Every structure is written in C-alpha cells, then in structure tokens.
Amino acid sequence: MNALKRFGLGLLWIFLIPFILLGIAVVGVFGIINFPIQLVIMIVNFFRGKKVFPMFEEDEKAMAILQKAIDKQNGEEEARKEPPAPQQVFVQQNYYGAQPPIPPAPGPGIPYQNPPYPQGQGIPYQNPQGIPYQNPQGIPYQNQPGYPYGLPQNPYPQPTQAPNQNGGMNPNPIPVEAHEDNIPKIELSSLPQYDDKEEGE
C-alpha cells in the first residue's frame, strides 16, 4: 500500500518538479546575490566590535517584554514563598497569691489536660508551640480578683458541643503532652462539660 502511495506521489512530483526546480533556481540566484551583501554586513559588524549576527530590533523588544514578565513572575513567586512572619504575642499570666481554677480530674479516656499551678509562683505563660494569642470570641479584658491581667483566654476555640455527646467524652480533646517538669500549659477559659456520674469511673 505504501508503495502504491509512493507511486502516486511520484506521478504528482513528475508534474511538480519543473516548477520546484524553477523556484529553487530563482532562490539560488537570489541567494548568490544575498550572500555577499550579508557577508559585508557581517564583516562590518565584526570590525565595529558588535556581534556578527546582532539581534533585530523587534527581537530585542520581544526579549525585553519577556524578561519583564519573568521578573514580575519571580517577584510574585518570592512573595508567595515567604509569607509575612506571624506576630507572636505572649500573654503573661501571673497568679500572685491566687490559685488558678483547677479543672476536675479527668475521667477514663479523657487525656490529662491542665496540671495545677503551684501556689505562689508566678509562672509566666509559656507558649511552647508558638501559637499566637487569639481572641476569637472578642472577649474584652476583665479585671477579676485573682486575675489582675484579666481572665485567661482560651487560645483554642472549641466548637459548641451538645451535651452528652459521645458518652460525655470530649470529641475534640486538646492534645497535651504530660511533662514531669509540669510546665504549665494553656489555661482553658471554658472547661469541658463532664457528667458527675462519669467522673472517676
């Protein structure tokens, strides 16, 4: 089949070859005239210290536009790669002479959350996880006795929970690692709701 196709194309080329050869002859003559002209331009550029084949003006404009687009894109990419550093606000909560509210002992399966603060020691608030202070509920500063710097805020806003969900277990427990040094962790402003019956079970 290919041979037949080539045969057919060959017949076509028999008719086209004279025109093709004529075209090649015309371009050949043009090329012979064009060659010395371009050669002279090339030699003049060489002795002027320019590139032998310098870029055309249109190509230079196109390159400038493309370079601008690349620079713009690189600028945007750098901005995306390095977002502005989050501002960390450390809130120092000192309980001088007053004990912070001690949460009830957690029931079975509920992770230990907040060790009691040693009395009399103003252990400053520490933010080991680098979580910035958040006040999502917009609770204003409240000057309560025992809380000279206002009520401690809960930086981990918890969704409102329906009572007795999951058998009273907190479906969104705050993961806290137990440390022997008892570094005080983040104080909860709202304590999880537990049924009295389930405590200690």
**C-beta separation of 100 from 152 below 8 A:** yes
Among 53, 90, 133, 141, which residue sits at the site for other proteins (rule: CB under 8 A)? 53
- Judged by CB under 8 A, the stretch of 27-35, 73-81, 90-98, 155-163 that binds other proteins is 27-35
CA 181 to chain centre: 35
Contact characters 32-51, other proteins, x per CB under 8 A: --xx--xx------------
Residues in binding contact with other proteins, number by CB under 8 A: 31
Q: How far is the CB of 76 from other proteins (least distance, A)?
A: 19
Q: Where are the alpha helices (DSSP H) in the chain?
A: 2-48, 57-81
Figure out which of the listed residues 44, 63, 131, 178 binds other proteins, where binding follows CB under 8 A: 63
Instruction: Work out whether 180 is an interface residue with other proteins (CB under 8 A).
Output: no
Nearest C-alpha neighbor of 185 from the set 102, 100, 106, 114: 114
**The two structure tokens encoding residue 123:** 């252990």
Residue span binding other proteins (CB under 8 A) among the ranges 3-11, 124-132, 141-149, 190-198: 3-11
Among 10, 49, 108, 130, binds other proteins (CB under 8 A): 10
Phi then psi dihedrals of residue 13, to 5 deg: -65, -30
Contact of 133 with 87, CB cutoff 8 Å: no
Among 44, 50, 51, 66, binds other proteins (CB under 8 A): 66
- Residue 32 neighbours by CB distance under 10 Å: 9
| Cβ atoms of residues 187 and 93 within 8 Å | yes
Q: Does 22 contact other proteins by CB under 8 A?
A: no
What phi, psi does 147 have (nearest 5°)?
-135, 70
Whether residue 62 contacts residue 69, with contact meaning beta carbons closer than 8 Å, is answered with no
- At 83, the amino acid letter reads P
Q: Does the footprint of other proteins cover residue 162 (CB under 8 A)?
A: no
72 binds other proteins (CB under 8 A): no
If one asks whether residue 6 binds other proteins (CB under 8 A), the answer comes out as: yes
Q: Which residues of this protein are in contact with other proteins, per CB under 8 A?
A: 3, 6-14, 16-17, 20, 23-24, 27-28, 31, 34-35, 38-39, 53, 56, 58-59, 61-63, 65-66
